Amino acid sequence: MAEYVVYYRVSTERQGRSGLGLEAQRAMVEQFLTPTDQVIAEFTEIQSGKRDDRAELWNAINLVKKTRSKLLIPKLDRFSREVSFISGIIDQGIELVVCEHPNVSTFFLHLLACFAEEERRQISERTRAALRAAKNRGTVLGRNAHALATQRQAEKRDFFESIRDDFEQALAEAGSYSGAARLLNERGVTTCKGGWWHPQTVKNYTTLSDGRIPLRSLPLEHLSAT
């Protein structure tokens, strides 16, 4: 019998809500596990794989250390594409198990990490080359992105008006961004994208009030971010 802490990652909140990618990862894990295996906990991250300061990832790693279990991931690129990061985790004594490459040696995991890092580099180079070619053809880059950003900002403002009372009440009651995030999550109020509230999310949304409706009991400048 083996004990595992499972780590899933998707890059966007839209993928997290729709299950795209996440469902495939769960299917890989279910296919990998045997009837005698035990899953201690599961951690799901909505974050870019380029960042190594992922809260859920480190929660999973710390639990692996505490329970002396194994860290199970569906695919290596869901963990990281950086050789140095993967090597650093393995060097800490973390036993990393990859569903798509079961029963492989640590040496082979390092090779897979090298391939993943090189793949990311090539994708980045192809993207830059395509953008340069488009610019040389006279294409105005960023025009569609600006229009889309404007549209999304308008949608976000409309959404904020629909939750303004709940939002301001949570801020007034909690007195901090983190406390307001906790209250909003407990009360089932989601963000514009249907995700969970975090302290930084609450802070970002406060800019939408434009000072038109002041917070009922606590000045915004006195709110703590902790």
Q: Determine whether 94 is exposed, middle or buried from the number of CB atoms within 10 Å of its CB (0-12, 13-18, 19+).
A: middle
pTM above 0.85, yes or no: no
Average pLDDT of the chain is 78
Say if residues 5 and 67 touch (Cβ distance below 8 Å): yes
Q: What is the pLDDT of residue 117?
A: 67
Q: What is the pLDDT of residue 223?
A: 47
Say if residues 116 and 77 touch (Cβ distance below 8 Å): yes
Reported as a single tens digit per residue, the pLDDT across 71-87 is: 999 988 777 767 778 88
Q: Which residues of 51-76 are buried (b: 16+ CB within 10 A; e: fewer)?
A: eeebebbeebbebbeeeebbbbbbbb
- Which alpha helices (DSSP H) does the chain contain, by range? 13-18, 22-32, 55-67, 76-79, 83-91, 106-136, 143-174, 177-186, 199-206
Reported as a single tens digit per residue, the pLDDT across 143-159 is: 666 666 777 778 888 88
Reported as a single tens digit per residue, the pLDDT across 109-140 is: 767 767 766 776 777 778 777 777 777 776 65
